[in-house]
Amino acid sequence: MTTPAAPTPDRHAAVAIVRILRDAGHVAYFAGGCVRDELLGVTPEDYDVATDATPDRVVTLFPKSGEVGKSFGVVIVKHGGPVVEVATFRADGLYTDRRRPDSVRFSTPAEDAARRDFTVNALFLDPLGAEGGVQSSLGGTVIDLVGGLKDLSTKILRAVGDPAKRLAEDHLRALRAARLAAKLGFVIEAGTAEAIRAHATDLRGVSRERVGEEVRRMVSHPTRARAAQFVRDLGLAGPVFMQTNELSGSRAGTPHLAALGPRASVGTYLAGWAMDLGEVVEGDAARAELCARWRRALCLSNDEHEAMRAVLRLVAGLRDDWRRLGVAGRKRLAAQPCFADALCLFGVEKPVMATEIAADVASLASTRSGLAPTPWVTGDDLVAMGKTPGPEFKRILDAVYDAQLEDRIVTPEEGRELARRLGVQSAE
């Protein structure tokens, strides 16, 4: 496994903060995901520092700090580099809202590690530590109070302490387990997986905004297909997507998500996920209802919702309409922005037909007009001809553009002449 070539600016900033805290007489370590990632040879996205200094003390030592999370013991520190979260070691009170503790008590490193979600996220690193024990390749000594090193080496994702208790504190941890296990290439420890399955329906009580954000993080990562597999295997798909009935159409594996490339939109990934779950339904009204439910379940934006619906509609069009469409109809379909992704998803189930369609598209693209030429006649042209805007505009413009796509007219002048003839016919 490779390691980062050199410390990042984020790490340099975090080390400087630890050094100042230590010089002031405090205990200070790197904490959480940054330690895990360093030990796995992955460059951390950011660095967090845990310390015995109280938030007020941290603000005193770093006057330019932000105090957004101060009530939970977190201070945002900027000191000569990127911002770093500095959190006071704490023990959490009850989680009556299943998201945040009602109260926190500043405590010790051992208690702080015991409140975290998974053992591999509960490691500390003393970046200034002398040699001895497990070392990070970038420097520093690992402090393991919950058995995280063993789980890291065996690639196991295990809840800290009692899994049911960890999940009760924040039910979103169930979904996070699926995402993190997929991202890291880990398996979920049997007791942790059992607790997730037993409490899967509790995820329905988590705010839909938080569920949606976790799903976006899943589908935006290359391991999206494996994450979706974990979600289904752990019994989380129903609660995530607000599906009240058993997903009886669910297929083995996640081939549609796996087929999509890295640059697809969130809406496209969700369309593929819906197909893997067997959620795809017949008819535009039923598809609209499906997409509306997923929109509510994940708090999708307008763009995400419309992209999901457009992709599912295109897949249905490829299956039901392509072979009966003429040249213009095929070009119009192939010119839609999400056509390539829809064809990719369609090809999972109908690979032979998808290959035929791809060949058709290549042939259509080589015609004189291409797939999506700029229209030679617009509404402004019709107005200039003395036409009054109304329902006939669309009929005329569509007919002229079809003729252009089919190369029955090959100049703007021919397009305007056809529009005049069509206008006269409609007037008669």
If you average pLDDT over every residue of the chain, what do you get?
90
Asked whether residue 234 is domain-assigned, the answer is: no
* Selected residue with higher pLDDT from 134 and 125: 125
Same domain membership, residue 84 and residue 39: yes
pLDDT in tens, 388-399: 888 888 999 999
Asked whether residue 227 is domain-assigned, the answer is: no
pLDDT band, very low/low/confident/very high, at 134 (cuts 50, 70, 90): confident
Same domain membership, residue 170 and residue 56: no
CATH number, domain with residue 60: 3.30.460.10
Between 63-67, 115-119, 321-325, 330-334, the lowest mean confidence (pLDDT) is in 63-67
For the chain, helix, strand, coil in percent to 5 are 55, 10, 35
Asked whether residue 235 is domain-assigned, the answer is: no
Given a cut of 80, whether residue 242 has pLDDT beyond it is: yes
Residue 283's alpha-carbon distances to 198, 268, 336, in angstroms, are 35, 19, 20
Tell me which residue range forms the domain holding 182: 155-221
pLDDT in tens, 346-405: 999 999 999 999 999 999 999 999 999 999 999 999 999 888 888 888 999 999 999 999
Domains in the chain, number: 4
Unique residue bearing structure tokens 């007020």: 56
Q: Which two tokens stand for residue 427?
A: 């007037």
Q: Are strands 187-188 and 156-157 parallel, antiparallel or unpaired?
A: parallel
Same domain membership, residue 212 and residue 126: no
Given a cut of 60, whether residue 1 has pLDDT beyond it is: no
Q: At what angle do helices 284-298 and 302-320 cross, to 10 degrees?
A: 150
So what's the pLDDT on residue 70?
Answer: 63
Asked whether residue 298 is domain-assigned, the answer is: yes
pLDDT in tens, 60-87: 999 888 876 666 788 999 887 889 999 9
Q: Which two tokens stand for residue 326?
A: 């003429």
Same domain membership, residue 397 and residue 318: no
Share of the chain above pLDDT 70, in %: 91
* Selected residue with higher pLDDT from 162 and 250: 162
pLDDT in tens, 181-199: 999 999 999 999 999 999 9
Between 20-24, 107-111, 156-160, 191-195, the lowest mean confidence (pLDDT) is in 107-111
So what's the pLDDT on residue 314?
Answer: 96
pLDDT in tens, 262-306: 999 999 999 999 999 998 778 889 999 999 999 999 999 999 999
- Final residue of a structural domain among 146, 170, 195: 146
So what's the pLDDT on residue 99?
Answer: 52
- Final residue of a structural domain among 372, 390, 405: 372
pLDDT band, very low/low/confident/very high, at 4 (cuts 50, 70, 90): low
So what's the pLDDT on residue 248?
Answer: 47
Cα separation, 83 vs 62, whole angstroms: 12
Given a cut of 90, whether residue 131 has pLDDT beyond it is: no
What is the average pLDDT across 111-129?
Answer: 94
